[in-house]
Amino acid sequence: MITRQRLAAGLGALLAALAAGLAFPAGAVADETTANAPKVDLVIDVSGSMRAKDIDGQSRMAAAKQAFNEVLDATPEEVRLGIRTLGATYPGDDRKTGCKDTAQLFPVGPLDRTEAKAAVATLTPTGWTPIGPALLKAADDLDGGEGSKRIVLISDGEDTCAPLDPCEVAREIAAKGIGLTIDTLGLVPNTKMRKQLSCIAEATGGTYTSVEHADELSDRVNQLVDRAADPVVTPVATEGAAECAKAPTLKSGLYTDREEFGRERWYRVDVEPGQELRAAVSVAADRAVSPDYGVLLRAVTVHGREIVRGEAAGNGRTDVVSTGLRYPKAESDDEEAPAETVCLQVTHSFAAAAGVKSTPGLPLELTVDVVDGPSPAGDVASFGLGRGWWLLGALVVAGFLGGLVWGWLSRWRVAVWRTN
């Protein structure tokens, strides 16, 4: 009897020891997985203007809710997703109060789809549009961890809480070096909103998309959430040249280089017809510099003609300044049309403080992304006339010729009638 008891006790102790031994590495793996999990914070504008019914016959708020529900259903299991609102609770006229109106609707973490959908269903268009304050809070929502971090901002209007410029806020977030990307989507955009949301996105290497239909909104947010689950890219060291002709040709990726004071760096990117080049650069001051500085990123042809540029300035508040640009290459009817070589020029105006060494150059980080261009229903206008003008011209010519033929036939019939 005693032997059996001892055997049972020993077996129990062995099982307990095995369980404890197995539990520790499992816990360690779980902690590591959590630390590396990609994070996304969806920031939704719930200001009063979201009541407007101009998206497929429904309100902007209804379209956003529909998109969120579809996105929540499709979110990959490994993504830690949260939802933040702006303008959701305060309906009054006090500017100070309205510009604090941002709240975490659903915390960034493992996704409970039922709970998140229930929270979204309660949203009602209410107040102001504090984009800048919401972005600052969203950056805090994503704090911690080693995985990718992405804010997806959906808005239908400009920030109403200046002088806290949301574009400056985005630059400050980029300057922290936490690898956070902000993508923006504009609902039924106007020129001012387009400019502001584009600036926010470009400051962090993100993208701006204009949206006028509910299915476009769902598709685009799904793409961005899926992109967050992609592996974090390790920067590749490269060395830009003093002129475009001698510059290295870069593929899509993240690159690091150094640029001396008063110099410029050149890089080359091949863009196929129908593709879009998106590029962003950040230059950091790793030593004492004068307080006023800026960075310029230009896309030019191999012949030196400027295509588009991005620029930003700093005043000593941060030691990093960032900017970006986008260039969509128009599609070609010639299937064998060659790729266009685009030259990227990086210039900065940092100046070393007295007694500070000017070498080596300041560190810069360059992001290059060559993707399929926007659909015809997407954001067209700022880079040239769309292909629809060719169709319009053809219709005008056809109408003119048709009128001439019809007039000639009418005169011929009248002449025949008179003869008879």
Q: Is 150 a member of any domain?
A: yes
Cβ pair 295, 329 in contact under 8 A:
no
Q: Do residue 122 and residue 255 come from a single domain?
A: no
Rounded Cα distance, 148 and 25, in Å? 24
Domain that holds residue 325: 236-372
Residue 153's alpha-carbon distances to 38, 86, 150, 170, 231, in angstroms, are 17, 10, 10, 12, 22
Average pLDDT over all residues of the chain = 81
Say what the pLDDT of residue 8 is. 46
Rounded Cα distance, 343 and 411, in Å? 60
Say what the pLDDT of residue 188 is. 83
Tell me the per-residue pLDDT of 166-185, one tens digit each, with 9 for 90 and over. 988 998 888 777 778 899 99
> To the nearest 5 percent, what fractions of the chain are helix, strand and coil?
35, 30, 35
Residue type, position 247, single letter: A
Q: Is the pLDDT of residue 50 over 90?
A: yes
Q: Do residue 206 and residue 276 come from a single domain?
A: no
Q: Is the pLDDT of residue 9 over 60?
A: no
Say what the pLDDT of residue 14 is. 39
Partnered with residue 372 across adjacent β-strands are: 275
Q: What is the mean pLDDT of residues 112-135?
A: 92
Q: Do residue 44 and residue 185 come from a single domain?
A: yes
144 vs 7, which has greater pLDDT?
A: 144
Question: How many separate domains does the chain show?
Answer: 2
Lowest mean pLDDT among 14-28, 36-50, 231-245, 365-379: 14-28
350 vs 249, which has greater pLDDT?
A: 249
Q: Is 8 a member of any domain?
A: no
Q: Which residues of 157-186 are buried (b: 16+ CB within 10 A; e: fewer)?
A: bbbbbeeebbbbbbbbbbbeeebbbbbbbb
Q: Is 110 a member of any domain?
A: yes
Q: Do residue 180 and residue 47 come from a single domain?
A: yes
Q: Is 57 a member of any domain?
A: yes
Q: Is 21 a member of any domain?
A: no
Say what the pLDDT of residue 173 is. 87
Q: Is the pLDDT of residue 218 over 70?
A: yes
Q: Is the pLDDT of residue 38 over 50?
A: yes
Q: What is the CATH number of the domain that holds 59?
A: 3.40.50.410
Tell me the per-residue pLDDT of 392-416, one tens digit each, with 9 for 90 and over. 566 666 666 776 666 666 666 656 5
Q: Is 287 a member of any domain?
A: yes
Percent of the chain with pLDDT over 70: 79
Q: Do residue 121 and residue 195 come from a single domain?
A: yes
Q: Is 44 a member of any domain?
A: yes
Lowest mean pLDDT among 29-33, 91-95, 216-220: 29-33
Among residues 161, 194, 228, which one ends one of the domains?
Answer: 228
What does the radius of gyration of the chain's CA atoms come to, in whole angstroms? 28
Among residues 228, 247, 264, which one ends one of the domains?
Answer: 228
Q: Do residue 185 and residue 247 come from a single domain?
A: no
Q: Is the pLDDT of residue 163 over 70?
A: yes
Q: Is the pLDDT of residue 419 over 50?
A: yes
Q: What is the mean pLDDT of residues 211-228?
A: 87
Tell me the per-residue pLDDT of 240-260, one tens digit each, with 9 for 90 and over. 999 999 999 999 998 989 899
Confidence of residue 390 (pLDDT cuts 50, 70, 90): low
Q: Do residue 222 and residue 162 come from a single domain?
A: yes
Q: Do residue 43 and residue 103 come from a single domain?
A: yes
Partnered with residue 331 across adjacent β-strands are: none
192 vs 41, which has greater pLDDT?
A: 41
Q: Is the pLDDT of residue 31 over 90?
A: no
Q: DSSP string spanning 272-294?
A: -TTEEEEEEEEEE--S-B-S-EE
Q: Do residue 209 and residue 249 come from a single domain?
A: no
Lowest mean pLDDT among 140-149, 283-292, 397-406: 397-406
Q: Is the pLDDT of residue 6 over 60?
A: no
Q: Do residue 224 and residue 242 come from a single domain?
A: no
Among residues 352, 372, 392, which one ends one of the domains?
Answer: 372
Q: Is the pLDDT of residue 7 over 50?
A: no
Q: What is the mean pLDDT of residues 335-343?
A: 89
Q: Do residue 141 and residue 262 come from a single domain?
A: no
Percent of the chain with pLDDT over 90: 43
Q: What is the mean pLDDT of residues 359-388?
A: 65
Q: What is the CATH number of the domain that holds 340?
A: 2.60.120.380
